[in-house]
Amino acid sequence: MPDSISNKAFPLTLAQPGEALRVSAMLCGRGHNRRLADLGLPIGSEIRVIQAISPGRLIIGSGNGRLALGPSCTRSIMVSPLN
């Protein structure tokens, strides 16, 4: 993992419904990072896991919106607990 990622960071795919998290890093390509930022999920944003649909497939809340993310995406997003 890059040095800039907190020791407490973990892949979003491991998060549980109801958890409040902060996006610490994105370990995917620049285009994918930009697309997620455009959808309201930039590094540093606060999110909440709303529902786990199946392993790795999550619905998250960010701001006033919700996003459904697949396993390849949730594996590449590193998050850390807010508290």
Cα 21 from Cα 5, distance rounded (Å): 14
Q: Which domains does the chain have, with CATH numbers?
A: 10-81 (2.30.30.90)
- How does pLDDT run along the chain (83 residues), one tens digit per residue? 454 555 789 999 999 999 999 999 999 888 888 999 998 899 999 999 999 998 889 999 998 899 999 999 999 999 999 97
pTM of the predicted model as reported, rounded to 2 decimal places: 0.85
Question: How would you write 13-39 as a 3-class SS string?
Answer: HHCCCCCEEEEEEECCCHHHHHHHHHC
Instruction: Give me the pLDDT at residue 5, please.
Output: 57
